[in-house]
Amino acid sequence: MDTITTTTLMRYKREGRKFAALTAYDTSFAAAFERQGVPVLLIGDSLGMVLQGHDDTLKVTVADIAYHTRCVHKGAPNALIVADMPFMSYATPEQAYANAAELMRAGARMVKLEGGDWLLETVKGLTERSVPVCAHLGLTPQSVHVFGGFKVQGRSEDAARAIEEQALRLQYAGAAMLVLECVPSELARRISERLSIPVIGIGAGRHTDGQILVMHDLLGITSGYIPKFAKNYLSGTGNIQGAVAAFVEEVEHGRFPGPEHCFE
């Protein structure tokens, strides 16, 4: 696979080419995902739940993300590696700059931050300091206690308008990519059409530029609650390589997500 950059993804968006993304946490899986043509790998703070066994993502540290970023970078040197900024690691712009630098040195090519307008100064500052930023709107798991649980966001007209306008302001501040999580499909479509940067959806319908899943959901090894937007690709293919290849193919051809994975 050729080296994937933000320029690559911008070209995909202009060409209308859908792309797949997966979470990754170690060298072996990262290498397998890159071999199957997954262009974007996210070291997600989801590791707090799927690797560490916590009930939420809040206990993950910058050191945790940096460790797993180094592992993923060794296995997938050509993928666009995005590292999550953990809970309270970017409470101030100065704090964000220091922690983002640690993650970039570990091998990330972009950092991801959850939140809207309160992050505009931070996004602008990171971009000015040569750190590409992926914004994250909708259901932002680090705000789970504010939301009162893992709930779909943007269902009312006012809430949808607020998310849409925040997305535009984040792009203007310098965000190079946006993740939309658990929002109605129509809202995700509007945002994807209005933004010039790539939009990756998870539980956001089929109209976004890319789709991301947690690797454990893709392989059907998530214990407990299974999100509506997840699909077990391993059950239909019988091996990990086939599962990843099927996911990439379905995303690229617009067959995933289906209506059963979406919120209206």
Number of C-beta neighbours around residue 172 at 10 A: 11
Catalytic residue among 102, 181, 186, 193: 181
Encoding tokens for residue 29? 């899986």
Annotated active-site residue 181? The verdict is: yes
Give the span between the Cα atoms of 215 and 99, in whole angstroms.
25
217 among annotated binding-site residues? no
112 among annotated binding-site residues? yes
46 among annotated binding-site residues? yes
pLDDT string in tens for the chain (264-residue length)? 899 999 999 999 999 999 999 999 999 999 999 999 999 999 999 999 999 999 889 999 999 999 999 999 999 999 999 999 999 999 999 999 999 999 999 999 999 999 999 999 999 999 999 999 999 999 998 877 676 666 899 999 999 999 999 999 999 999 999 999 999 999 999 999 999 999 999 999 999 999 999 999 999 998 777 889 999 999 989 899 999 999 999 999 999 999 999 998
Give the containing element (helix H, strand E) for 70.
Answer: helix 62-75
Number of C-beta neighbours around residue 144 at 10 A: 17
Give the span between the Cα atoms of 245 and 240, in whole angstroms.
9
Q: Across the strands, what pairs with 81?
A: 41
